[in-house]
Structure 1
Amino acid sequence: MKNKKRLLKWFFGILIFLLIIDTSATLYFYKVAAIRNNTPVSQVSKKSNNYKLVQKFNKLNKSTKTLTNDNLKLDAWYVPAESTTNKTVIVVHGFRQDKSNMRQYGELFHELGYNVLMPDNRGAGSSEGEYISYGFYDKEDIIAWANLLTKENNKSKITLFGLSMGAATVMMASDQKNLPDSVTNIIEDCGYSNVWDEITYQAKASYDIPAFPLVYSVSLENRIRQGWFFNEASSTQALANDKLPILLIHGSKDTYVPTSMLNENYNAVKSGTPKEKLLISGAAHAKSFETNPSLYEKTVSNFMTQYNPVN
């Protein structure tokens, strides 16, 4: 009997110890993954092929637009096209970025003749918000921006463009019933297939940590704080119902959002929906445009000409 009690004490002691370790690790990794961090983010290098685009964008006349969605005040830059047009591209940034990181893309679409709206996601830049939602709530913010543009101009024709987390955001928005008809097409660059798979991949690749138990507990922490589990934020699930033409882009050397997710997303687009994909040889994560600017611009321009041509 004494030995049995001793074993039970050891068992529960070890269990409590493991729970304490898991709880501590959960809180640490949740802070890393999902809590706002205003540390300045890296920008396009001055040595980059595309730094000249950033310099050009800096000289453009930009106004600020704001809206309130989900009780959060959100901020965006708006750059009108050189020639008056009803065509606008909403450019959505990635994880731990803000709108300033997207200047090369803003300039790309500006030079193609479009108005450009570049929002700060919730929890980033000048927008309010404590948490990063990996597209789960951001998709509703992007829809709110599209509705704002449509309200301001009922002839608006809008393209959604996103990079990395922003790419997942625009894909997740694709099947939403409240997405306005003014949205005509989507371009995603290096977006993940779903949050669960991306977080699980990052845990293994960056920390050599298996999914169980940590990813499960971090997902539960996210459910407690934000109201959703990681497996509920899925690009592929949305793409299965998407009706809008979509261009999917990825780098062949992407080890942050694995290149395999390009085909997962592409194959998820339902039959009958126009879809194209572009794999940039040698490009690392979010570096496709900088790795092969001419091919990138040509492919994007042709897709836009087909599905949202400038007036």
Structure 2
Amino acid sequence: MSPIKLGILQLPSDYELAYEDVSFENIYDGVELKGWWIPSSRYDYLYHKAVIFSHSYGDNRERMPIETLKLAKRLSSQGYHVFMYDFRASGESGGRFTTIGRKEKTDLLSAIHYVKEDKGIHEIALIGWSMGAATSIIVGSESDDVKAVIADSPFADLESYTSEAFAYWTGLPNSVGKYMIRVADNIFIDMNLSEVKPYIAAQRYENKGLMLIHSTKDGAISYKQSELIFSHAPSAELWITKKGGHIRNYKHQKEIYEDRIIEFLNKYIEQDYMFQPL
């Protein structure tokens, strides 16, 4: 299954950001992935920390209900390099099917590999929205290279969520959805919805940061999904907002959102930098 690919309309240069077009392979199955490397705009120091963005289902690195590039600009100004990429079957990346987290996990692991091996960055954080948020939680629990994860509007368990939310997305009864999901699992072997369980992954966050953000007005994924994840995490922060809808928290409170996530990141990412003579 795969949504219609959306084109990219804006570039980092539209936000006065330097950037590099990046093409890299999924190190597990060879799918070609595309992205942008946006270096820190702090030229007084050489920073060794990066944040990797993971977009929502049906969107791409730039096309979301929020200004991802505006957020990238603020992080860049704080000394963070930013890596934005398209999941498989999205944006400019290759691949025919979206698997709502299972294969996307390997896309994100490959993005981490690129940032570590090609850019030499070892202080890595993840931020994701919806599907990207759920994927970031799972990957962050498995990768020793990830120090902190910010998950905006994630689902807690893909199998149960798709059954419960089928009517929301299609207008058809949930009973039909349960049948369709069984069919999809049988036809599309790579789906395996039962493997995508962020609330289980959250149990492994003893020594790294996890911040959950969700709106009470989210009609696509209930904020109770984030509460469930939070209840299983030994150490996490939960920010429940009262503005916006699904993945629109940043849209309605940009400065507060930026300040809170930067404060969170700075607690877990070492401020490793070297003075750069001008």
TM-score, with normalisation over the residues of structure 1?
0.77
**Residues 136 and 156 (structure 1), Cα distance of their counterparts in 2 relative to 1, 3 Å cut:** same
User: Would you say the 8 A contact 1:204–1:210 is kept in 2?
Assistant: yes
Partner of 1:100: 62
Larger Rg: 1
Task: State which of 59, 63, 66 in structure 1 corresponds to 2:23.
Answer: 66
Aligned residues: 262
Taking the aligned partners of 1:157 and 1:121, their CA distance within structure 2 comes to 22
Taking the aligned partners of 1:275 and 1:141, their CA distance within structure 2 comes to 25
What is the Cα deviation at residue 91 of structure 1?
Answer: 0.6
- Partner letter of residue 99 of structure 2? S
Counterparts of residues 176-215 of structure 1 (less than 5 Å) = 176=142, 179=143, 181-207=144-170, 209-215=172-178
Which runs of 5 or more structure 1 residues have no equivalent in the other structure?
1-33, 45-53
Task: State which of 263, 269, 293 in structure 1 corresponds to 2:254.
Answer: 293
User: Would you say the 8 A contact 1:252–1:259 is kept in 2?
Assistant: yes
1:79 lines up with 2:38 in the alignment: yes
- Partner letter of residue 81 of structure 1? S
**Residues 284 and 93 (structure 1), Cα distance of their counterparts in 2 relative to 1, 3 Å cut:** same
Counterparts of residues 1-311 of structure 1 (less than 5 Å) = 34-40=1-7, 58-69=15-26, 70-83=29-42, 84-101=46-63, 102-176=68-142, 179=143, 181-207=144-170, 209-243=172-206, 244-269=208-233, 271=234, 274-311=235-272
What is the Cα deviation at residue 298 of structure 1?
Answer: 2.0
User: Would you say the 8 A contact 1:86–1:153 is kept in 2?
Assistant: no
Taking the aligned partners of 1:134 and 1:86, their CA distance within structure 2 comes to 31
Taking the aligned partners of 1:201 and 1:106, their CA distance within structure 2 comes to 33
User: Would you say the 8 A contact 1:57–1:104 is kept in 2?
Assistant: no
Partner of 1:5: none
Question: Alignment partner of 1:240: what SS?
Answer: helix
Taking the aligned partners of 1:263 and 1:215, their CA distance within structure 2 comes to 24
Q: Deviations over 1:119-149 (max 9, x none)?
A: 1001101110111111111111111111222
User: Would you say the 8 A contact 1:114–1:310 is kept in 2?
Assistant: no
Question: Alignment partner of 1:146: what SS?
Answer: helix
Q: Deviations over 1:5-51 (max 9, x none)?
A: xxxxxxxxxxxxxxxxxxxxxxxxxxxxx32412458x89xxxxxxx
- Partner letter of residue 246 of structure 1? L
User: Would you say the 8 A contact 1:192–1:257 is kept in 2?
Assistant: yes
What is the Cα deviation at residue 167 of structure 1?
Answer: 0.4
User: Would you say the 8 A contact 2:125–2:148 is kept in 1?
Assistant: yes
Moved segments of 4+, more than 6 Å: none
What is the Cα deviation at residue 195 of structure 1?
Answer: 1.6
Which one has more relative contact order, counting CA pairs under 8 Å at least 6 apart? 2
Identity %: 19
TM-score, with normalisation over the residues of structure 2?
0.85
**Residues 80 and 39 (structure 1), Cα distance of their counterparts in 2 relative to 1, 3 Å cut:** closer
User: Would you say the 8 A contact 1:88–1:117 is kept in 2?
Assistant: yes
What is the Cα deviation at residue 57 of structure 1?
Answer: 5.6
- The structure carrying a bigger helix percent of its residues is 1
State the superposition RMSD in angstroms. Answer: 2.3
Taking the aligned partners of 1:211 and 1:279, their CA distance within structure 2 comes to 27
Question: Alignment partner of 1:147: what SS?
Answer: helix
- Partner letter of residue 278 of structure 1? W
